[in-house]
Amino acid sequence: MEHTVSAFEQELKVLGGRVAEMGGLAERLIHDAIDALKRSDPDLARTVIERDRLLDRLQRETEDRAILVIARRQPMALDLREVVASMRIASELERVGDLAKNIAKRVVAIQGAVLNKRLVVGVEHIADIAAEQLKTVLDAFSDRDDAAAHLVRQRDGEIDALYTSLFRELLTYMMEDPRNISLCTHLLFCAKNVERIGDHATNIAETVHYVITGIAFDDERPKADTTADDPIEGGALP
Amino acid sequence: MEHTVSAFEQELKVLGGRVAEMGGLAERLIHDAIDALKRSDPDLARTVIERDRLLDRLQRETEDRAILVIARRQPMALDLREVVASMRIASELERVGDLAKNIAKRVVAIQGAVLNKRLVVGVEHIADIAAEQLKTVLDAFSDRDDAAAHLVRQRDGEIDALYTSLFRELLTYMMEDPRNISLCTHLLFCAKNVERIGDHATNIAETVHYVITGIAFDDERPKADTTADDPIEGGALP
């Protein structure tokens, strides 16, 4: 029995290590995707696209391993929650990698274009906060720190507010000069992608809370991107 | 032993039923979100937003149930794949519901705006194909029909081509008259959301293939949305 328990703990440790590895890779992909955007560096962007495949593979392996642990060890209560959480967080991180990859693809698409620094800085600023949120919540998972997870969840509103403000600024640029439209549309999707990275950090915060307490946050999550809630402003419509 | 086997089969049946229920609900949400867009009906859109919560709850319940089945029955090989597949498909369907909800939120945002019918028909056409793909792949799951799953996977390219074409058309409208920009941006996100529903149908097709054969499709998936791969066309950039 002693043996079984420590084998389980060993397996949990491996799962936790796998999640930490995925987290480090996801943070790196975000950083490099944004760096590629800032520097208009399609080669760096291509390495992000390529390295995202590793994250996909790690996610599948983590899921396979978690399921085998459940089948072999039949963990209950907290132990089961720990295993399920690893699987869920791996899935969130895989999606974060996809979002970084999407940004990188747009960098390849807009290569050569001279970007408005102010707009790129806007995207970068949101990405920095999203990456920090991701790092904080992964630390909260490894430290089993419910309070830190709560803070991540609350701070998501800041990302949403910045996104909404950048969204409006991008629309303004498009309206000022139609030649801006194509590039601004790509930046709009980049901004949306980083905003969604923040949502995944929030999802992970909810998983951390569930691991520690065994219950889901029961109040509604603080609201996300509100641009879809904004009424259209003025002007004739197509 | 006989008893154990049939109890497992009973549990599989319940899981399959839950997935089918979620699939029906997801198809309904897509249909109603697009209907709300066509008819500029914010009330219908609000019911979509509300009903998406049921899909979220069903997904959590399906995951919980699948994990308990794995822990209690310790299924192997095909049996294990069946349970894991239910869990994965439930997760894809939950994401489809989120995408329908995002469209519905934009309908609420643009209420009162007179939409260009041609553009809305473009979004609707993609949504129809995506919904059909979803229905076909869920039937393929319930019939364990690998050939049908393959066809779904191949047909995703059609959705991507339509999306790329609509994306360009929307950009053209924006460039013609800056007053179109705000509304076209919302339609652009709606179109992107339906394109992503198609991606989830493809993910489900891959899961169906994995259930039946025990192996993942090893070739790369036919490529998705290529607008991120398009070079920016002409004009000064912001």
pLDDT, position A228: 65
pLDDT at B233 over 50: no
Nearest to A168 by CA among B108, B182, B106, B184: B182
Range in A45-49, B73-77, B167-171 with the lowest mean pLDDT: B73-77
Decide which of A189 and B219 is more confident: A189
Decide which of B218 and A91 is more confident: A91
pLDDT, position A2: 54
Residue A188's H or E segment, with its range, is: helix A181-213
A3-to-A6, A76, B12, B70, B72 alpha-carbon distances in Å: 5, 17, 32, 22, 21
**Least CB–CB distance from B182: residue in A182, A229, A232:** A232
Per-residue tokens: A14: 């491996």
pLDDT, position B217: 65
What distance in Å separates residue B152's CA from the closest CA in chain A? 22
Q: Is B232 on the interface with A (CB under 8 A)?
A: yes
Backbone angles phi, psi at A67, to 5 degrees: -65, -40
Q: Is B2 on the interface with A (CB under 8 A)?
A: no
For the segment A37-80, what is each residue's pLDDT rounded down to a tens digit?
Answer: 999 999 999 999 999 999 999 999 999 999 999 988 888 888 89
pLDDT at B238 over 90: no
Q: Where are the alpha helices (DSSP H) in chain B?
A: 2-39, 42-73, 77-109, 117-143, 146-176, 181-213
Interface test with B, best of A69, A78, A174 (most B CBs within 10 A): A174
End-to-end C-alpha distance for chain B, whole angstroms? 70
Q: Which of the four pLDDT bands, split at 50, 70 and 90, describes residue A162?
A: very high
Q: Homologous superfamily of A2-213 in CATH?
A: Phosphate transport system protein phou homolog 2; domain 2 (1.20.58.220)
Our measurement of the distance from residue A51's CA atom to the centroid of its chain's CA atoms, rounded to an integer in Å, reads: 16
**Least CB–CB distance from A183: residue in B72, B112, B238:** B238
**Averaged pLDDT, A103-115:** 88
pLDDT at A214 over 70: yes
Range in A112-126, A215-229, B90-104 with the lowest mean pLDDT: A215-229
**Chain A residue numbers touching B70 (CB-CB < 8 A):** 67, 70-71
A225 contacts A201 by C-beta, under 8 angstroms:
no
Say whether A228 and B185 touch across the interface (CB within 8 A): no
Range in B29-33, B179-183, B225-229 with the lowest mean pLDDT: B225-229
pLDDT at B231 over 90: no
pLDDT, position A237: 30
pLDDT, position A218: 55
Length of chain B as a residue count: 238
Quick one: closest CA in B to A46, which residue? B229
Q: Is A215 on the interface with B (CB under 8 A)?
A: no
pLDDT, position B116: 85
Decide which of B216 and A138 is more confident: A138
Range in A38-42, A98-102, A225-229, A232-236 with the lowest mean pLDDT: A232-236
Single-letter code of the amino acid located at A37? L
* Four-point Cα dihedral A121, A122, A125, A131, nearest 10: -110
For the segment B22-54, what is each residue's pLDDT rounded down to a tens digit?
Answer: 999 999 999 999 999 999 999 999 999 999 999
Give the DSSP letter of residue A137.
H
As a whole number of Å, the CA-based R_g of chain A is: 20
Say whether B231 and A72 touch across the interface (CB within 8 A): no
Say whether A174 and B178 touch across the interface (CB within 8 A): yes
What are the residue ranges spanned by the domains of chain B? 2-227
Q: Which of the four pLDDT bands, split at 50, 70 and 90, describes residue A217?
A: low
pLDDT, position B54: 97
Q: Is A224 helix (H, G, I), strand (E, B) or coil?
A: coil
pLDDT, position A233: 41
Residue listed under structure tokens 């894809």: B92
Quick one: closest CA in A to B179, which residue? A235
Angstrom distance (rounded) from CA A181 to CA B188: 12
**Averaged pLDDT, A196-200:** 97
Mean pLDDT over all residues of chain B?
89
* Four-point Cα dihedral B175, B177, B178, B181, nearest 10: -70
Q: Is B57 on the interface with A (CB under 8 A)?
A: no
A217 contacts A209 by C-beta, under 8 angstroms:
yes
Q: Homologous superfamily of B2-227 in CATH?
A: Phosphate transport system protein phou homolog 2; domain 2 (1.20.58.220)
Decide which of A150 and A237 is more confident: A150
Q: Is A80 on the interface with B (CB under 8 A)?
A: yes
B114, exposed or middle or buried, with CB in 10 Å at 0-12, 13-18, 19+? exposed
Say whether A111 and B67 touch across the interface (CB within 8 A): no
pLDDT at A96 over 60: yes
Say whether B231 and A109 touch across the interface (CB within 8 A): yes
The percent of residues above 90 in pLDDT, for chain B, comes to 76
How many Cα atoms sit within 13 Å of B145 on the Cβ side? Answer: 13
pLDDT, position A3: 56
Range in A66-75, A183-192, A199-208, A219-228 with the lowest mean pLDDT: A219-228
Name the B residues in 105-144 with CB < 8 Å from any A CB.
105-106, 108-116, 119
